[in-house]
Structure 1
Amino acid sequence: MTGKMVSALFASAMLATPLAQAAEVVLKVAHFWPTAAISQRKVLEPWCEKIKAASSGRMECQIYPSMQLGGTPPQLYQQAADGVADIVWTVPGYTAGRFPSVEVFELPFMARDAESTSRALWAYYEKYGRKDFAAVHPLALHVQDPGYIHTNKRQITKVDDLSGLKIRTPTRVTTKMFTALGATPVAMPMPSLPEALSKGVIDGYILTWESVPSVKLHELTRYHTETDASQPALYTAVFAMVMNKKRYESLPSDLKKVIDDNSGVEFSAAIGRAWDEAGPPARQMAVDRGNVLNMLAGSELDAFKKIGEQVSREWIEEMTAKGLPAQEMYDSARALLQENRR
């Protein structure tokens, strides 16, 4: 076979084999967790695979974990609003007071499991939260698995044990709660926890089981205080996955449909379910290390719940003074939680 014949056959083969097409849309997705966290492995990566498959490869993600696009976790929402990122996943409560509507789900002893609470939260958002998130296009609103108290200095068996302890709190509501419990709250994003704990800047933190091993906190903690699983959780935090509004609106209708089909109540519930499923294995890691676990129940838990009721009353009064229908919002959240309870 001559060189010319080989060249001709090669050219013919190239024409017969379609070249891989670059995606029309590459979405920059930013979050604050490390790559090993459930948020990326069990939620973001599968979600990105779904939208790529559903768009026949026309749309894909480029994920930026651990704040790789710069800034700090509290700035993530604004990064989405400004278009620094196309999609972010963040904690609205990191920006105190900016999202008053969804704070009701962070009140003490509201949530049980993350899946049903996330379903309730999305339904609540559609009724009360659209104004707060008007600068972006929300894809999911969800909560974590139940949150507990984790400490080093001493075990927490009653309210008085918290007196004087410096406890990391993630949101404005939890800061109010732990102030009322006698602790000294220290607000900081989750990625700052390991260093703050190891250097003694804080004596403990409140966090869900799922998040503890994601930054190896079980290796830095001695005591873990849970609450009676038959009761609503001490606390949970609201998370939001949101998209830059102009980026969403610029998509052709068929790609918008791909986003729409993979966002909303079912996506929110699926994220919650991922957290619920990740909680027990994460807890077992603390058990395997020989850390001390105890549970608040009975009269000890009632004392915490009494203070929680006080915090909820104060939240209703505060939001009412700001012109919000706070009692209605609170009652609606409770009704939705009951309606969606598993």
Structure 2
Amino acid sequence: MKHFKTLLAAAAVTLAGLPATAQELVKIGTFVPEQSVGVARVIKPWMEAVSAETDSVQLQGFWGGTLGKSPFKQFELVQNGVMDVSWVLPSYTAGQFPEMGVFELPFLFRTAEEASIVGWKLHEQGLLTGFDGVHVIGFFAAEPNALFMKTKVDDLSGLGNMKIRAVGGIHASWLESLGAASETLSSAEMNEALNRGTLDGAVQGWTGMRTFKSLPLVDQAHAVPAGAIPFLLLMNQSKWDALPAEAQDKIMMHGGMAMAEMGGGAYTAVGEEIRAGVVDEGRIEIVEYSEEQLAQWTEAAQGVHQAWIEATPNGQAVYDAAVAALTELRGSM
């Protein structure tokens, strides 16, 4: 009996030294640095909120391309399980997310909140496709792009024969409708081309211009809502399926609509802060457009909208749902 009690005591000591539950490591990778808005103001706060409510997963960040540097390979890397979670830019994954082009249509969305909230609603309605092998944790968008110019023009009518960087095909179509020659480049390639003087301007958001240190390379900004850049936070499907239900609940409690609202608000706030700093500095000329002028350029862009609708399977349904959600959202604000 004495020997049995000794064994029980030893076993108790051993068990006391073990964690109550084994944590599942979740590797979260981005190609952008830790100080970027998406990481610092959206992904890391999401990680902290989830970690505060569950001990069953350990969320670990790998920033700045540690798990894969190419922005064009992020979806492939998470789909194949090289990283468990990745921040994916749909416009860098040609053909994978056809309906995502609706967010890039110029003059449709006026704020990051609008694009982010409408984006999650479209996902909930099952109108966004391309998620084979992944689970969608969240959808958010940057503040609508502006047009940043190294070569100054009076307004959009002056872009004829200019070389302008586009993020994807939608931006390229819009620029070409204005007579510009579009070039689809990453932010790093854009900087190099602006620095060499082989590029006249670029479609980009204020936050992106600061993140990639592009502001010193331009002399003018046209304040037009030239489409929003949508972002996805995706988890490898097999990894998602292996997580405890309790962890899944916490991940999505702070993902989904909560992430859309947080992400949209973060990008709006930071975008306004950056723009205010540019105004104070006074070096970059900011060209403002009146509501009447914006209405005229919106009408001129309708051909780009219609072309996207016709070229996209289920494009009309997606576009109509986006407009309906946008109208409802603006009516409630």
Aligned in 2, Cα 1:66/1:245: closer, same or farther, shift over 3 Å?
same
CA contact (8 A) 2:138 2:259 kept: yes
CA distance in 1, matches of 2:126, 2:30: 25
CA distance in 2, matches of 1:334, 1:69: 37
Residue 314 of structure 1 pairs with residue 307 of structure 2: yes
Residue number in structure 1 paired with 2:131: 133
Q: CA deviation at 1:103?
A: 1.4
| TM-score, length of structure 1 as denominator length | 0.86
1:242 to 227, 231, 234: 234
1:291 to 284, 301, 324: 284
Residue number in structure 2 paired with 1:260: 252
Aligned in 2, Cα 1:283/1:19: closer, same or farther, shift over 3 Å?
farther
CA distance in 2, matches of 1:67, 1:224: 29
Residue 211 of structure 1 pairs with residue 176 of structure 2: no
Identity %: 26
Q: Deviations over 1:261-295 (max 9, x none)?
A: 22111212211111011111111232233211111
Structure 1 counterpart of 2:212, one-letter code = V
CA contact (8 A) 1:112 1:146 kept: yes
Q: Which runs of 5+ in 1 are unaligned?
A: 1-13, 228-232
Within 5 A, what are the aligned runs for 1:103-182? 103-154=101-152, 156-182=153-179
Q: CA deviation at 1:317?
A: 1.6
Q: CA deviation at 1:302?
A: 4.3
Q: CA deviation at 1:136?
A: 0.8
1:305 to 295, 298, 303: 298
Residue number in structure 2 paired with 1:68: 66
Q: Which runs of 5+ in 2 are unaligned?
A: 1-12
CA distance in 2, matches of 1:199, 1:43: 34
CA contact (8 A) 1:213 1:285 kept: no
Q: CA deviation at 1:328?
A: 2.2
CA contact (8 A) 2:46 2:259 kept: no
Aligned in 2, Cα 1:70/1:329: closer, same or farther, shift over 3 Å?
closer
Structure 2 counterpart of 1:305, one-letter code = T
Aligned in 2, Cα 1:111/1:20: closer, same or farther, shift over 3 Å?
same
Structure 1 residue matching 2:182: 3-state secondary structure: strand
CA distance in 2, matches of 1:139, 1:298: 36
CA contact (8 A) 1:32 1:191 kept: no
Residue number in structure 2 paired with 1:47: 46
Aligned in 2, Cα 1:68/1:44: closer, same or farther, shift over 3 Å?
same
Q: CA deviation at 1:71?
A: 4.4
Aligned in 2, Cα 1:76/1:25: closer, same or farther, shift over 3 Å?
same
Aligned in 2, Cα 1:72/1:22: closer, same or farther, shift over 3 Å?
farther
Structure 2 counterpart of 1:253, one-letter code = A
CA contact (8 A) 2:104 2:226 kept: no
Structure 2 residue matching 1:202: 3-state secondary structure: coil
Residue number in structure 2 paired with 1:10: none
Residue 220 of structure 1 pairs with residue 217 of structure 2: yes
Q: CA deviation at 1:306?
A: 3.0
Residue 196 of structure 1 pairs with residue 193 of structure 2: yes
Q: CA deviation at 1:203?
A: 1.7
State how many pairs are aligned. Answer: 318
CA distance in 1, matches of 2:136, 2:222: 34
